[in-house]
């Protein structure tokens, strides 16, 4: 049984399990799935300032904080107790392309060549981690939610803004991965 958990799950098992989160949340308490709103709840709970955006009854959404805590703890358990010791399998064409950018160490899910503390002090690392993080946060707020909220919850409840946001997320990801990222990696 443990060997099954250590291996990547096929899309036809993992996808429906993720998708079943939506009806379960709706049936159990008419709750919406989304992760980005939890940061707002944390700020509302921890900031004593009377900022209008954070002035609401965040305690009604405390379940969301426990949900995110469960995701965080699940990630820790998966990365320590259930980690697959085998290197990540990468397509040979992608491996050759990454080697051209000096990325050869992708034993884990995150390439250690570009995602580490010393890399943060380079122009490439600053752009990828700090500017990229800011853009993700800004885009999430501007779109009114994150990819999980829009693509999983919004699309399943047939919300037009979620369809538009998901299309924009996908287009932005395609543009970034294929047109912008190669220039950043070449720095």
- Which pLDDT score is estimated for 104? 85
The single-letter DSSP state of residue 38 is H
| pLDDT over 90 percentage in the chain | 18
CB atoms within 10 A of CB 146: 22
Q: What distance in Å separates the CA atoms of residue 74 and residue 177, rounded to the nearest whole number?
A: 28
- Which pLDDT score is estimated for 141? 84
Residue 130 has pLDDT above 80, yes or no: yes
Interval 151-179: pLDDT, tens: 888 888 899 999 999 999 999 999 998 99
Q: Quick one: CA dihedral 60, 66, 72, 75, positive or negative?
A: negative
- Measured between its terminal Cα atoms, the distance across the chain in Å is 45
Q: Which two tokens stand for residue 125?
A: 């690392």
Mean pLDDT of the chain: 86
Among candidates 127, 128, 123, 126, which has minimal Cα distance to 111?
128
The single-letter DSSP state of residue 172 is H
- Which pLDDT score is estimated for 3? 66
**50: phi then psi, degrees, rounded to nearest 5:** -95, 55
Of the spans 43-52, 97-106, 129-138, which averages the highest pLDDT? 129-138
**20: phi then psi, degrees, rounded to nearest 5:** -70, -15
Global pTM reads 0.75
- Which pLDDT score is estimated for 161? 92
Interval 46-97: pLDDT, tens: 887 788 888 888 888 888 889 889 989 998 988 888 877 777 788 899 889 8
- Which pLDDT score is estimated for 64? 86
CB atoms within 10 A of CB 162: 21
The single-letter DSSP state of residue 160 is H
Q: What distance in Å separates the CA atoms of residue 186 and residue 97, rounded to the nearest whole number?
A: 11
Residue 25 has pLDDT above 90, yes or no: no
């Amino acid at each position: 049984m443990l060997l099954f958990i250590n291996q990547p799950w096929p899309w036809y098992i993992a996808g429906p399990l993720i998708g079943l989160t939506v009806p379960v949340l709706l049936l159990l308490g008419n709750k919406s799935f989304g992760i980005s709103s939890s940061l707002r709840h944390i700020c509302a709970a921890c900031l004593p300032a009377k900022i209008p955006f954070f002035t609401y009854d965040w305690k009604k959404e405390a379940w969301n904080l426990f949900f995110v805590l469960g995701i965080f703890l699940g990630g820790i358990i998966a990365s320590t107790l259930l980690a697959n010791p085998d290197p990540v399998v990468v397509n040979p064409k992608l491996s050759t392309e990454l080697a051209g950018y000096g990325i050869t160490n992708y034993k884990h899910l995150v390439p250690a060549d570009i995602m580490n503390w010393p890399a943060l002090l380079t122009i490439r690392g600053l752009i990828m981690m700090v500017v990229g993080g800011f853009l993700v946060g800004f885009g999430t707020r501007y779109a009114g939610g994150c990819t999980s909220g829009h693509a999983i919850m919004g699309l399943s409840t047939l919300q037009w803004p979620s369809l538009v946001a998901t299309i924009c997320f996908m287009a932005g990801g395609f543009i970034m991965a294929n047109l912008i990222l190669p220039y950043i990696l070449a720095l």
